Chains A and B, each alone.
Chain A
Amino acid sequence: MTFILWLGVHPPGDHPFVTQTSVILALVVVTALAFDFTNGFHDTANAMATTIATRALSPKTAVALSGLLNLVGAFLSVQVALTVTNAVVKIQNSDGTPKEPLTTHGGEALLMIVLAGLVGGIIWNLATWLLGLPSSSSHALFGGLIGATVAGLGWAGVNWNGDGSKLDGVVGKVLLPAVMSPVIAGLVAAAGTWIIFRMTAGIALRYAERGFKWGQIGSASLVSLAHGTNDAQKTMGVITLALIASGHWTDTGSIPFWVKVACALAIALGTYLGGWRIIRTLGKGLVDIAPAQGMAAQSASAAVILASSHLGFALSTTHVATGSVLGSGVGRPAAEVRWRVAGRMVLAWLITLPAAGVVGALMWWIGDLVGGLAGALTVVALLIAAATGMWLRSRRIRVDHSNVNDDWGAVVPPVAGAPGRLPATAAAS
């Protein structure tokens, strides 16, 4: 495909419509949609892992419901914040327009930073999916952008600490919430689970099972809807930023309708595809989830996500969902929590930002070294190669809707000759 694009491009000025930057812009848009897609399938687990593990919904129904609600949620984002990157890097002014030095030559400098950052985010999202680790997609995106910005503009281009007037910067928007969110969600879920288990002791099972089934579906739906509204907005913001930088859009108060449609479809489709490896780790790997526990965990997630975004202290959905599942395991009498799996997860969280950053920086350097359109094409080609490689690797030991609920540790016999032990977490029971 890249070859065809290459043939179709004329040197700047030669053709009035297809210029070098408009092709780079197209690459940025497609890559942003690809990121949105990985964002969707990486985060299906946050809403649906417990619902699937307790069999409140069949795996297929759960991902379809979550995908649909993500779609609805994305369309609810009528007012999109264009300033999404401002939390961590300084490539935009406070009104959302790109910084002037980056907009010369059709915004090529800004486009390259955004492209490299997106590629960093996608590659890290795919790597953690391959390992079955729930890690934050926002951290991956921010990490990629930070890395690409450091490579392109130097360390001064990063907004580390904000200006002290509000919660801002890498520390305030990423690091502190990351540490605090699992703890908060864990406490809420543990408290809820502990009390609910005491209250349900001795009541007829048929009432409890049916009631908790609906409780779980309701709370999981809320999480899906909130996810669609929040996460699709980020990609919409990034694409619109690229359009403004290259002079294809000027209004900072709204976004093009096609951007909204494309982002909504990408995240919904990703969610529907379902990151089964991650669903398995979250639903079966950490603790064995009983229906009451599933409801407590999912309600804790929904309440903490909505309350935090209401109070302007936005937390990562992934960290909240994981904290809730862990908390529900701690709160349930005599439940076994697999702390080794949890530890592996925390390790993934710690390295998400720097790892995506390194990939983002690397991509920017490669793109810059090759230069111009060829550089952008090289970066996209590298992304396609990495994604294909990881997808092929994932097929050696498949996790899908048919085996997502199998007992932890008892499944997926390693393929003879396969050196790895994927999904890595499955071996660590």
Chain B
Amino acid sequence: MHNLGFALDGAWRVLLAGLVLGAGLPILFTLGIRSLAWSAAGPAPRPAGRAIGYGLFAVVILGVLLGIAFIVASGFGKALSFEHVYPTIVAKH
């Protein structure tokens, strides 16, 4: 049952990446919405809330761009590599 080993090995990696990106990014997004709501909730506007909110949205948008980069790269027969921490496009091995 080599296949089961390979599959379990793949499964926990997918679960981890899924939790970071698939649950983490929407949570950041929700935090962003919360700070926008907070910035407008008081009697006087709170600019810090807006700044934090848009900062969080920027992180989420970066995540989405990463997703698009991956789709485009794989369409061209390339892959994303994270060996330099920031993603780079490399030839698929």
Contact = CB atoms under 8 A, between A and B. Distances in A.
Interface of A: 73, 76-79, 161-162, 164-169, 171-172, 176-177, 180, 184-185, 187-189, 191-192, 195-196, 199-200, 203-204, 207-208, 211-212, 215, 218-219, 222, 225-226, 229, 292, 295-296, 299-304, 306-313, 315
Contacts of A215: 26, 29
Nearest to B34: A203
A320 B66 CA distance: 20
Given A207-B33, A215-B26, 16 more contacts: A77-B75, A191-B23, A199-B30, A199-B31, A199-B34, A211-B33, A222-B64, A303-B18, A303-B25, A306-B67, A307-B14, A307-B21, A310-B17, A313-B10, A313-B11, A315-B14
Contacts of A77: 75
B2 interface: yes
A429 to B, nearest CB: 28
Given A192-B23, A199-B31, A302-B22, A79 B14 contact: no
A299 B30 CA distance: 12
Given A167-B7, A176-B7, A188-B23, A309 B74 contact: yes
A72 to B, nearest CB: 10
B22 A303 contact: yes
25 contacts: A78-B75, A78-B77, A79-B75, A169-B3, A187-B19, A203-B37, A207-B36, A211-B29, A211-B32, A212-B33, A218-B64, A219-B26, A222-B68, A292-B30, A299-B22, A303-B67, A304-B14, A307-B13, A307-B18, A309-B74, A310-B17, A311-B13, A311-B14, A313-B7, A313-B14
A282 B19 CA distance: 22
A196 B27 contact: yes
B35 to A, nearest CB: 10
B90 interface: no
A76 B75 contact: yes
A300 B3 contact: no
Interface bin, chain B: 35 or more
Interface of B: 2-4, 6-7, 10-11, 13-15, 17-23, 25-27, 29-34, 36-38, 40-41, 64, 67-68, 70-72, 74-77, 79-80
A196 B22 CA distance: 12
A201 to B, nearest CB: 10
B76 A79 contact: yes
A391 B32 CA distance: 47
A296 B21 CA distance: 11
Contact of B3 (A76, A162, A184, A204): A162
A192 B75 CA distance: 29
Contacts of A312: 10
Contact of B22 (A161, A166, A169, A300): A300
A167 B6 CA distance: 6
B62 to A, nearest CB: 12
B31 to A, nearest CB: 7
A192 to B, nearest CB: 4
Contacts of A219: 26
Given A78-B76, A167-B10, A187-B15, A302 B67 contact: yes
Given A188-B15, A299-B25, A303-B25, A308 B76 contact: no
Nearest to A74: B75
B54 to A, nearest CB: 12
Given A76-B75, A196-B27, A184 B15 contact: yes
Given A192-B23, A304-B22, A313-B10, A171 B3 contact: yes
Contact of B11 (A169, A172, A184, A301): A184
B67 to A, nearest CB: 5
Contacts of A203: 33-34, 37-38
Contacts of B13: 307, 311, 313
A172 B80 CA distance: 24
Given A199-B34, A222-B64, A229-B75, A176 B18 contact: no
Nearest to A200: B30
A204 B71 contact: no
Contact of B10 (A187, A296, A308): A308
B27 A199 contact: yes
A295 B3 contact: no
B41 to A, nearest CB: 7
